Structure 1
Amino acid sequence: MFVITFLCCVMFAGLTEGSTTGSAKCDYGTYQHEGNTCCLCPKGNRVVSDCTITDDSKCERCGPDSYLDHPNNENQCKACQVCDHNANMEVKERCSLYSNTICKCQKNHYCEKGEQCRTCYPCDKCENKEVETECTETNNTVCRDAKNTRLHGVIAAAVLVPIIIISIISIVFYVWKRKKSRKHEKCPEMPEEVEPLKKDVDLNPYLPEIADHLSWKMMKRVARSSGMTNASIENHECNHPNDAKEQTNGLLQEWYQKQGLYEAYPALIRTLRAIKERTAADKIMEIVEGNHRLKARP
């Protein structure tokens, strides 16, 4: 008798505490109601009746223009928001069983509160001004004074135009000067010789001494005037970096070989005179003519 009484008490206690209603499995969570553990209704549904010891909770879909956006134990669904046309709003996303209406501002209206907005305001019109930033759904138009803009443009033009003109003139003058300089070097004017030059002189024995009286810059001008390419000239710079004397001597040797045995001497003197290096020309004449006369004596 005692055992039967104990078992009855345990069964009664278990029923009053409750676990989930009946044998139901709660897919969306649970809630407590009058000592019973009840299943939540899925979103889009409301609770019609709470669970009991013997019965499960009963759920019902929300009606038109209402919603519930999460599992719940609510007895009433929430009313869908209405986008108030008088507040310059319109529907962005329609209400469903599972989500509320999302409103937005009508065209040419804005509200800085985003989805929390309840009233939209007309975008400013930039009358007698220029639009700096167009109006958007969340930001008003930004205007700027057109007079100031034009004034800034005039000032900028007044400063830039003379600079541009001066730059163009400088570039044109530089190009013209370069062309004139190259033409002069390639085709130097050959002035009349002050005195006749010997025609049977071979410069080869005098080249080292002649090189001592020619600078690298002067030798480059002589080479260019004779038609030698920049590549040939630059080759001597690479062969003897930082040694102008060796550069000059090497280029003079190559120039001599291109002129011919008895043509090099008169060509060198004529070219030096043409590029206005008369001092160097006279010094070379002294070297060549003096040594030649000494060799010619019996």
Structure 2
Amino acid sequence: MINVASGGVGPDAPAEMARLLAELGIRADIHACAPSELRSQLRASLDAGPDLLVTLAGDGTVRAAAELVGPDGPLIAPLPGGTMNMLPNAVYGGRPWPEALRLALEAGRERDLGGGCIEGHRFLCAAILGSPARLAPAREAAREGEFGAAFRQVRSAVERAFTGRLRYQLDGRPRAKAEALVLICPIASKVMRAEEPVLEAAALNVRGAGELIRLGLNALVRDWRIDPAVDDQFCREARVWSAHRIPAILDGETVTLPSLSEIRFDPKVCRVLTPPKEDR
């Protein structure tokens, strides 16, 4: 599955992948899709009963594939074809996709991949709940070159920030409030080993535009976790509630969650094909 609109996919990618697979003697059906066709084509591809589902796309496409495949479906090879490539880079160590695919096919091993489950959705890298998720439409408008619309979306998001704080509870501990809650999976966290069976939970207690700017600067020049507006913990389960439905971003994709949402760590969201351990 190749998302032809992803930031890291060039026009020659389908032909290059076909040559590589043919060289390795592997029979495959290659589908180059627009974003609107991805989910339907994923379903059709899985109905054909493949041994391996290769995705050359962004983190959002991998998340959609993981939701459809589940823990007992075919293996997934999530190649880096998006803008951020958080999951592909964690799995394949920043290798270009042809090198990553060749190594995985020639010497790869199966690995269970854990992640988060939230109200019927899955995420493999990170979930952002609360006001920052309202910036997602601005990001999409900027991607399409609609910078006027992007500016209006940013202004609207800033105007609505700091008006609907979340309440949350981690593993039954005392309840707390935050402007936003970020849940990071082990494979994407910089402070956990990938095998740890918990989520990193960072509560963002930003109370004004000045603190938001400071947090952004800390994120650019050093570890944002040291900012005084961040309360960083770990959990297996979390409950989040608000007076209104909760805006969220799951692995780069925008969703709207119920006003009371529950999150848990799942040690086996799907299975991925990774390079040998010593080569990652």
Q: TM-score, normalised by structure 2?
A: 0.20
More helix by share: 1
**Highest RCO, 1 vs 2 (Cα 8 Å, sep ≥ 6):** 2
